[in-house]
C-alpha cells in the first residue's frame, strides 16, 4: 500500500472490505454494484435479507459468484465477471437500467473511488494526465442513488493521500458519499464532517488522522475492522 510498515501490516484485503460493506446494507435494499471490489459485495450477503443487487449493464438480482466450471458467459456484471442470478432476477437493456437509476429506484450505489473529499465529493473516473478514462454511467449512478458507499485504498501506491479536504481529480459527484470504506478505516460523512467509525486491527484514530487531510471526528465507541480468519 505504501512505505509505512504499520499501515501495511494492518491493511485489509479486498474481500475483507467487501464483507464489511455487506454488513452495512439494510434488508430489502436495491443496491448497484460498481466495477472492481464492489462486485464482491454480493458474495457476502446472507440469503433471506431481501437485498437485490444490480449491475448497470442490465441485471437486477445478482447472486454470489458461480463455482468454477459453472459460469454462464451470457451472465456477467459490469466488470465482465461471471455472476449468478437469484430467483426472480431480471435482465434488461441499458436504457431500462439507467431509467431505474435516474428515477430514484436505487437505494445504495457501491462505487470504487480515486479520491473522496471532506464533504463527500467523489472522484472516480479519471486521473489527470493519464490520457484515458471515461465517466460512463458513474455520474448518473452517483447522482441517482439515494446513498453512495465508496471503496478505495486509503493511500496511493506512492503514499499520497486520497481522503482530502478538496478533491484534485475531476469530480463524479458533489456531496454524494455517505460512507467510505478503505483498507484501514470506515468513515461516515455527517453534517458535522467525516466521522471515523472503525479502524483496522492494530491501528488507532491517530494513525488514520495522519494519513487523512480532513479533521476526523472520532466515534464515541471506535470499532475494529477485522480480517477474515483463515482455517
Model pLDDT for residues 109-141, shown as the tens digit of each residue: 999 999 999 999 999 999 888 777 678 889 999
The answer to whether residues 121 and 174 touch, using CB atoms and an 8 Å cutoff, is yes
Residue 58 belongs to a domain? no
d(CA 31, CA 191): 24
Question: What is the β-pairing status of strands 217-225 and 163-164?
Answer: unpaired
207 inside domain: yes
**Edge-to-edge strands, sheet with 163-164:** 122-123, 115-117, 163-164
Query: What's the rounded mean pLDDT across residues 89-108?
Result: 95
Facing residues of 189 across strands?
Answer: 194
CA distances from 204 to 62, 158, 181, 209 (A): 36, 22, 16, 9
Helix (H) or strand (E) holding 209: helix 205-209
Confirm whether 62 is domain-assigned: no
Confidence of residue 229 (pLDDT cuts 50, 70, 90): low
Tell me how far apart the alpha carbons of residues 124 and 135 are, in angstroms, rounded to a whole number: 8
pLDDT level of residue 231 (50, 70, 90 thresholds): very low
**Mind listing the pLDDT tens digit for each residue in 69-86?**
999 988 999 888 999 999
Give the dihedral of Cα atoms 215, 219, 221, 225; nearest 10 deg.
Answer: -70
Please check whether residue 98 lies inside any domain of the structure. Answer: no
Mind telling me the catalytic residues? 56
**Any domain includes 81:** no
**Residues contacting residue 227 through CB under 8 Å, at least 6 positions apart:** 12, 13, 16, 201
How far apart are the C-alpha atoms of 43 and 39, rounded to whole Å? 8
Identify the domain containing residue 118 by its residue range: 5-38+104-221
Give me the chain's average pLDDT, please: 93
Please check whether residue 170 lies inside any domain of the structure. yes
Whether residue 195 is contained in a domain is answered as yes
Rounded to whole angstroms, how far apart are CA atoms 214 and 231?
39
Q: pTM for the full model?
A: 0.94
Quick check: helix, strand or coil at residue 35? coil
For the segment 50-61, what is each residue's pLDDT rounded down to a tens digit?
A: 999 999 999 999
Q: What is the tally of structural domains in the chain? A: 1
14, part of any domain: yes
Q: What is the CATH number of the domain that holds 116?
A: 3.40.1080.10
| Straight-line distance from the first to the last Cα atom of the chain, in angstroms, rounded to the nearest whole number | 25
Amino acid at each position: 500500500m505504501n512505505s509505512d510498515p504499520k499501515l501495511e501490516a494492518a491493511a485489509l484485503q479486498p474481500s475483507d472490505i467487501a464483507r464489511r460493506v455487506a454488513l452495512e446494507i439494510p434488508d430489502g435494499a436495491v443496491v448497484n454494484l460498481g466495477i472492481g471490489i464492489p462486485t464482491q459485495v454480493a458474495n457476502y450477503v446472507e440469503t433471506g435479507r431481501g437485498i437485490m443487487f444490480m449491475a448497470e449493464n442490465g441485471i437486477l438480482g445478482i447472486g454470489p459468484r458461480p463455482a468454477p466450471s459453472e459460469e454462464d458467459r451470457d451472465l456477467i456484471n459490469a466488470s465482465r465477471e461471471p455472476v449468478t442470478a437469484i430467483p426472480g432476477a431480471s435482465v434488461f437493456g441499458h436504457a431500462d437500467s439507467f431509467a431505474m437509476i435516474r428515477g430514484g429506484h436505487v437505494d445504495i450505489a457501491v462505487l470504487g473511488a480515486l479520491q473522496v473529499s471532506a464533504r463527500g465529493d467523489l472522484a472516480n473516473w479519471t486521473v489527470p494526465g493519464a490520457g484515458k478514462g471515461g465517466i460512463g454511467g458513474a455520474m448518473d449512478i452517483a447522482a441517482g442513488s439515494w446513498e453512495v458507499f465508496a471503496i478505495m485504498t486509503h493511500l496511493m501506491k506512492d503514499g499520497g493521500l486520497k481522503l482530502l479536504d478538496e478533491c484534485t481529480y475531476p469530480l463524479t459527484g458533489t456531496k454524494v458519499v455517505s460512507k467510505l470504506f478503505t483498507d484501514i478505516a470506515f468513515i461516515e460523512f455527517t453534517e458535522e464532517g467525516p466521522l471515523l467509525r472503525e479502524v483496522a486491527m492494530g491501528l488507532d484514530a491517530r494513525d488514520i488522522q495522519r494519513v487523512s487531510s480532513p479533521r476526523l471526528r472520532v466515534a464515541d465507541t471506535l470499532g475494529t475492522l477485522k480480517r477474515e480468519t483463515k482455517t
